[in-house]
Amino acid sequence: ISALASSGVTTPAMRPSFPSLTFPNHYTLVTGLRPDHHGLVGNNMDDPVLGRFAMSIRAAVEDARWWNGGEPIWVTAERVGIPTATMFWPGSEAAVRDVRPRRWLRFDGKMPNTARVDQLLAWLDEPSRPGLATLYFDTVDHDGHEYGPDSPEVNAAVAEVDAQIGRLIAALKARGISANIVLVADHGMAQVADDRRIFLDAQTDPANLTLVHGGAVAGINPKPGFEQAVGKALLGRHDHMECWEKAKIPARLQYGSHPRVPAIICAAEPGWMIWLSPPRPDQKMNPLGGMHGYDPAHPTMAAAFVAAGPAFRPGVVVPTFDNVDVHPLLLRLLGLPAMATDGNDATLAPALVARAQPRR
């Protein structure tokens, strides 16, 4: 990764979108839309029509209706005849707006990173070579949650992913493929501890609400008839936490207008987590070392960005930017027209050797 960065473009930090969670930010990177606009407002969501969404609910993950609020880059590319391949990416397992990637696989967290690279290379060896491909490694995120961001285990996970990126670059070179590579993370990671937990049942009766999601950020829907009581107990600033009505979330977070956003959002101070209740004595809880989902402006949530290839100027360091600006860059690299999104095409333009002409 360092070699790739030295030959290409880097930034001090790329800011994720709020909430700084996996599915919302993966989809932001490929649509250029904030979670509040593309509709993946959390890893776990409730929808009055569609029901429950969670990363573990296969039927929901494959239901395009959850994803149709945004148009991922592979849909745009396929519509103009550019073949695409997604070696795992949230949204790629559904026929978003009735279009699928030319090649895709169901996510399998047990698939080794070597096999993921090998599968992508196999697709590149086919006669109809993809013009756009995605590749996803979840090793660093997994070990960051389990052991913490500064752990030896995370260092080892980074080394493993680094080696696989090296394999990919070497294999592309051996095949004579001159590719533009954009390496991104979806979020950062903050150190947490079991003694830094906020329990909502200390503020209000948990029987009066539905916890849509917890963790670094909690989404709460009061049950009918209990809106005033729950709001009075939760809204405002608390030790290590602040809660807002969805319509009054600070404007800088650009969140709260989508119908799937719960009625009350509580954001924990980085390093703290929000739970509904303490675990029961008979409940075995796996300790967590790291968590994300916090305020994107916090340094621990900063995400990586490295880009290199024939389209990029070597040695360029662009100022800190928001991850919605990656999508306009991808459009330009593919020669596709600009789209009306939350991203700004001008942000990463200085990183390019020349401004490619959009496809007509």
Q: Which residues are catalytic?
A: 22
Report residue 20 CA to chain centroid gap. 7
Distance separating alpha carbons of residues 267 and 279, to the nearest angstrom: 21
Closest by CA position to 329, among listed 184, 130, 142, 120 = 184
Number of Cβ within a 10 Å radius of residue 210: 14
Please report which helix (H) or strand (E) contains residue 306, including its range.
Answer: strand 305-308
d(CA 43, CA 88): 16
Please name the residue that has the structure tokens 């029901």.
51
Return the SS3 of 326: helix
Structure tokens at 171: 């294999």
* Residues in CB range of 291: below 8 A, 6 or more apart: 145, 189, 190, 192, 215, 216, 273
CA distance 305 to 15: 10
Q: Is residue 355 helix, strand or coil?
A: coil
User: If you write DSSP's letter for every residue of 40-96 in order, what string do you get?
Assistant: --SSSEEETTTEEE-TT-HHHHT-GGGTTTS--HHHHHHHTT--EEEES-TTTTS-B
CA distances to 8, 121, 134, 165, 169 from 3, rounded to whole Å, are 9, 21, 20, 11, 11
Element (H, E) at 221: strand 217-222
